[in-house]
Amino acid sequence: MRNRFFLWLALALVIALAVWKLFSNKSLLDEEAKLSTMSRAFVPVEVIEPKLEVLANNLEADGIFLPAKEMFVISETAGKVIEVFKDKGEWVKEGEVIAKVDDELLAIELEATQANLAKLKKDQERLANLIEGEAAPKNKIEDIQLGILAAEAKEKGLKKQIANTSIKAPMTGTLGMRFIERGSVIGPGIQVAQMTNLEKLSLMVKVTEKDVLKVRKGQSVTVVADVYPSLKIPGKVTNIGLRADNAFTYNVEIEVVNPKQSPLLGGMHARASFTFVSNQEGLTVPRKTIAGSLQDPSVFVVANDSIAELRHITLGEIYGDRVEVKTGLKSGDKVVLTGQLNLSEGTKVQVVEGN
C-alpha cells in the first residue's frame, strides 16, 4: 500500500514537471514571436533607379571553322601520269604544276597538223599568184582558205589539250590530299588532289528567325575560339542564309583572318558575338529586379521612402542581364534590387547600401 502511494506521488510529480515545461516553452515561443514581429518592423532592401540608355542587344552563336578557300583539283585530260611534282602538305602557288600526264601522242598530232597548215598556206600563196595571172579561177582559193581555218582551229585545240596534261594548282594553298601517283591512269573529271587555304577561315553559325533579321552583311563580329579563350578575333559577316533549315535556324557565315601567332584549323569550335545597336534610348533595369516571370513581370518600388509597392510592368527586349521596360516605371523610381523574397504589397522597408 505504501509503495503504491509513492508510485502515485512520483507520477504526479512527473506530470507536474511536464506541464511546467510546456508552459515554459510556450512563454519562450511567445517571446520569440514578439521579438520577430519587432525585428520585422521593416525589411532591409537595396534599390536601383531605371537607367536611360542606348539599347544595344548582344547575340552569341556557336559554330565551327571551315577553310574560306578549299577546292578539288580536277583533271581535264586523259592518260597516264608520268610525273608528280608536289607532295601532301606542300604549299603550292596558283598555276604551279602538280603532275604531268603523258602528251606524246598529242604532240605528234600537233606536229602533223602544223605541217598540214604550213602546206595549206603555201598552196594558198601559189594559187593567189595563179589567180593574179588569171591562170586559175578565183573560187578555187576558197577551199584552201576553209582548210586553213580548220587546221588553225585544230592546232589551237591540240595546244589546249597538251596544256591540260600539265595539271596545275587552281589556287594558292596547301595540298591537303593527293589521289594520284606516278603511273596512275586518269580521265577528264577525275579528282586528283584537294587544296586548302587557311589564311582566312569561315565560321558557320546558326541564328534564330528572330535574330537573323538584325544581322547585316559586312557587320563586324567578335570571335573567340575554344582553343584560345582569351583571344578575341575580329570577324565580318560575309553571307546570310536565305532559307531556314529543319530547326528553323539560318546559316550566317563569318570570315576571319587566321592569326599567325595562334593558328586555327578547320573543324575547330568557336563562339561569335554580335552587337546590335537600335539607335534609340529606353529605360532598362537589371533582370534580377523582376519579381515573378518574364511572361507576367512586376517589380517592387519603394514609395514614400518606406513602403514596398508591387508594380506591374511591360517589358521590351532583353539585353543580356538587363531588360527594357516599356511601361510601368519612370526615371527616378526606386526599384528593389535585393530583398524581394521578403516583400509583399505594403511591406515596410528600409533602404540600405549595397556591398
User: What integer is the mean pLDDT of 6-24?
Assistant: 62
Residue spans of alpha helices (H) in the chain: 2-39, 104-132, 140-164, 209-212
Residue 189 pLDDT > 90, yes or no? yes
Lowest model confidence (mean pLDDT) among 28-42, 175-189, 203-217, 227-241: 28-42
Q: What is the DSSP secondary structure assignment for residue 32, as one 8-state letter?
A: H
Instruction: Specify the DSSP element, H or E, that contains 45.
Output: strand 43-48
Going from N- to C-terminal start, the domains of the chain cover: 43-57+280-351, 59-67+197-275, 76-99+168-189, 103-164
- Reported confidence tier of residue 39, pLDDT bands at 50, 70, 90: very low
User: What integer is the mean pLDDT of 41-60?
Assistant: 82
How many angstroms separate the CA atoms of 184 and 168, rounded? Answer: 17
8 A C-beta contact, residue 298 and residue 312: yes
Q: What are the pLDDT digits (tens) for 68-93?
A: 899 999 999 999 999 999 999 999 99
Domains 59-67+197-275 and 103-164 share a fold: no
User: What integer is the mean pLDDT of 138-155?
Assistant: 84
Residue 135 is predicted with a pLDDT of 59
CATH class of the domain whose range is 43-57+280-351 = mainly beta
8 A C-beta contact, residue 283 and residue 295: no
Q: What are the pLDDT digits (tens) for 306-344?
A: 888 999 998 887 777 888 888 989 888 999 998 888 888
Residue whose C-alpha is closest to residue 120's, from 91, 154, 158, 147: 147
What is the CATH superfamily name and number for domain 59-67+197-275? Efflux pump adaptor protein, beta barrel domain (2.40.30.170)
- What would the CATH number be for the domain defined by 103-164? 1.10.287
Question: Sign of the CA dihedral 285, 291, 293, 295?
Answer: negative
Q: Are strands 249-257 and 191-208 parallel, antiparallel or unpaired?
A: antiparallel
